[in-house]
Structure 1
Amino acid sequence: MNKKNVLIITPSLNPKDNISGISSVTRLLLEHNKGINYVPFLQGKKDAEHRGLKWLLKQIMTPFHLLKCLSKNSIDIAHFNIGFEPFSLIRDIIIYYLLIVKSYPVILHIHGGRFVKTKPTNKLLRYIIYYFLKYADEILVLSELEKSFLCNLYNVQQNNVYVLPNAVQPSNISFSDKPIDARFSILYLGRIDKNKGLSEILVSLSELKALGEDFEFNLCGVGNDRDWFVEECRKRIGDRLIDNGLVYGDEKLKILKCSHVFLLPSYFEGLPMAMLESMNNFVVPVVTSVGSIPEVIKSGENGFLVSSTADITDVLLKLIKDRALLGKLSVAAKETINRSYSLNSYLEKLNDLYMTLKK
């Protein structure tokens, strides 16, 4: 059987350039989904890229680059990744329109975003969302919760929406490799942006230091608020901060192996790949109940859901002092991934969906 040629819309695939969840998922597909011939089409801003004149010219040329890509490749399906955020919707509508008018079957893969749960007040954004949803052949979301929101807000038919939670490649480390009794290590992994709850992290870490607790804060990532956050961390917790910058590959795995808690009190999320990767390596998530996170985390069983700085501080103190509980939750986090978020199952479901579509 000939492989299907799937055009996949994604940000940069180089982890040095982009640490988004969409990029991580796409890299997994290209590396492991050998039954599909993927043709990546890069759309989106690199993490260190500024929205200046050069960037604007690139956006103007993007539709022409897409047309050239379509003419050079025999494409069967378009796999369109997007987050329902204002800028992404406006930026991506033109290339989406081109795929529709050229009659390519489109899988619209929605990776969270504020407008999955809340309808925008802006009429243009509402129109764009309705256009995306109306002309998609299939719609993928990250959880049953997101499916419910999408159907209720935008009158989408239930049978047009498929739930496909993000997945990760199984980790090779075992629980015996985990230094549970070592110095308590708190991990932040991902884009460094104030909407990720950076202010709340600063307050809680400051409180831990004031209480005399011994811990380290492993900061991994880049983003617009990185310089401010690093400076504030140094002011408040001093040498407890370990600033790793952008990490990937073996370096990231090494940090995951020695981390105890993954901390993400974010305001908006889909289903964070960094959280799943952390759980896959026996790291206990301490996260807010946003996006699809509540479908994964059962508070007190395989991690903790928090809603305030007081919650964060209380949970971190509990885990610092009770290493038996930390170990129990670490194992439960890993078991959650093994049971429900394995890559093999993910690929089977996605490929079944690919096979139902024809140009």
Structure 2
Amino acid sequence: MNIIITAPSLNPNENVSGISSVAQFIISNNGGQRYLHFELGKKDKERGGWHRVPALMRKYGEWKRMLAEHPDAIIHYNFPLSKASLLRDPWFMRYAWKHGRNMVVHVHGGLFLTAPHIPSYLLRIMRWVFGQNVPFIVLSDMEKDILLKRFGAKSVIVLPNCVDLTDAEAFAEEFAERDETEPLRIGYLGRIEPNKGMTELLTACRQLKDDAVPFTLVIAGKEQTEGEYLPEFHNGLGENFEYAGLVSGKRKIDFLRSLDVFVLPSYFEGLPMSLLETMSYGAMPIVTPVGSVPQVVKDGKNGIFIKAHDSESIVSVVKRFSEDRNLLRKLGNAARSTIFNHFCSQEYIEKLNRIYAELDR
């Protein structure tokens, strides 16, 4: 069947986005369907704000034309619960619903999923969207409960994110032979911006360097605001820091294979693809227990939880595992097993296709 899928640019050189990663994974692994990508969301170099209204109006016109050109297509609408998305996406959804289109709304976490206080105007928008009689895909049972109880959703389906494990599976032998005498390689993969805990990560790594802990921090991704963090990491950490840039293909595989630890001190999340990817290569996650992260990471069993807004907790965990490589490898193995045992791409695609089939009846 034809499926219109919304997402920002799928080109990693233009856009670093978890939603784009999910959409690309679905398109690449679900060859039984014909996907039509509708690009919705700003590129990394584009400014946000109200000056984007004319561009959004043009995009709204493109949306109308695409729906008219593909009258029988199902719509797979990717929906992050950020302020920008809540102000934009309901207009696109409403047009499709008004014209009787079959749609599944794929929710990708965001600040306003779990925020204790939501501005009244955004809360009204969320209750209107989730009050529609359409299926909503969420990333965990926790998110399902929130949509049902807090926002009054009628039909919610749990479908955790998933990653392609082909190369990670071939990495087993190299993973087992890692040199534990080398400095700890700590990785971060994703957008480089304040809500990801970059300030705390920088402060923690400066402290680790001052305390002569042997480590290298390797960051892959793109700054949300150019020059906001990378110069500080370079100047503050010197030889203890590497910037891998935007990674894809072989460069991304090499980056993932090199890590001992993955650190994600985010303030809020859905279920990050970067977490699943790094765990599949045996990198032990050091993460804040936000969003659906606790559905994957179990503290002390396959990773370690740290406090949000707390650089000291990062320092203490890194010091502990720099000294205890046996425990690090044990938790890394458990992290890897978690992904291989519970995040199979074949099961994901089969369940997604069942959702599509129900819509197409």
Structure 1 and Structure 2 fold alike (TM over 0.5) = yes
Contact 1:173 1:281 in 2 (8 A): no
Indicate the residue corresponding to 1:290 in structure 2.
290
- Aligned equivalent of 1:271: 271
> Contact 2:264–2:288 at 8 Å: present in 1 too?
yes
Match of residue 103 from structure 1 = 100
SS at match of 1:6: strand
Q: Is the contact made by 1:120 and 1:126 (CA closer than 8 Å) also made in structure 2?
A: no
Q: Which amino acid aligns with 2:272?
A: P
1:171-209 deviation line (CA, Å, top 9, x unaligned): 233333132413211101100010100111012111111
**Following superposition of structure 1 onto structure 2, how do residues 7-156 of structure 1 map, counting pairs within 5 Å?**
7-51=4-48, 55-118=52-115, 121-156=118-153
Q: After alignment, is 236-245 or 286-295 more displaced?
A: 236-245
Q: How far apart in 1 are the matches of 2:179 and 2:127?
A: 49
Summarize the Cα distance change of 1:120–1:104 in structure 2 as closer, same or farther, 3 Å threshold. farther
Give identity over the alignment, percent. 34
Residue 172 of structure 1: SS of its match in structure 2?
helix
> In structure 2, what is the Cα distance between the partners aligned to 1:200 and 1:53?
30
C-alpha contact 2:74 2:356 (8 A) present in aligned 1: yes
The offset of 1:322, in angstroms, is 1.2
1:319 matched residue in structure 2: 321
Aligned to 1:334: 336
Match of 1:169? 164
- Structure 1 residue 234: Cα displacement: 2.2
Q: 1:195 to 1:295 in 2, by over 3 A?
A: same
1:192–1:226 Cα contact (<8 Å) kept: no
Q: The residue matched to 1:228 in structure 2 has which SS?
A: coil
Structure 2: distance between partners of 1:300 and 1:141: 26
Partner-residue secondary structure (3-state), 1:93? helix
Structure 2: state its 5+ residue gaps: none
Equivalent pair of 2:188/2:218 in contact (CA under 8 Å): yes
Residue ranges of structure 1 left out of the alignment (5+ in a row): none
What is the alpha-carbon distance in structure 2 between the residues aligned to residue 357 and residue 52 of structure 1?
35
- Residue by residue, what CA displacement relative to the aligned partner does 1:65-107 show, whole Å, maximum 9, x if unpaired? 0111112224331111011111111111211111110111111
Counterpart CA distance in 2 for 1:164 and 1:52 is 32
CA distance in 2, matches of 1:147, 1:128: 18
Give the alignment's TM-score, normalised by structure 1.
Answer: 0.94
Contact kept? 1:6, 1:79, Cα under 8 Å: yes
Per-residue CA distance 1:109-143 (angstroms, 9 max, x = gap)? 10001222236542321221122112251011000
Give the distance between the partners of 1:78 and 1:136, measured in 2 at CA: 14
Q: Compare 219-228 and 310-319 and name the one that shifted more.
A: 219-228
The question of 1:349 aligning with 2:344 is answered no
Q: Which moved more, 1:167-176 or 1:38-47?
A: 167-176
Contact 2:192–2:223 (CA under 8 A) maintained in structure 1 = yes
Distance apart, 1:10 and its partner CA:
0.8
CA distance in 2, matches of 1:249, 1:180: 25
Residue 261 in structure 1 maps to residue 261 in structure 2: yes
Alignment deviations for residues 286-317 of structure 1 (CA, whole Å, 9 cap, x no partner): 00010000111011111111113222111111
Scaled by the length of structure 2, what TM-score is found? 0.94
How many residue pairs end up in the alignment?
A: 354
For the 8 Å contact 2:127–2:152, the answer to whether it is kept is no
For 1:127 and 1:200, the matched residues in 2 are separated by 34
- TM-superposed deviation, 1:156: 2.5
Alignment RMSD: 1.6
CA contact (8 A) 1:286 1:306 kept: yes
The answer for the alignment partner of 1:185 in structure 2 is 185
SS in structure 2 at match of 1:227:
coil
Aligned mates of 1:5, 1:204 — CA distance in 2: 48
Cα 1:268/1:136, change in 2 over 3 Å: farther
Which residue number in structure 1 is paired with residue 204 of structure 2? Answer: 204
Q: Could you say which residue in structure 1 is the equivalent of 2:233?
A: 233
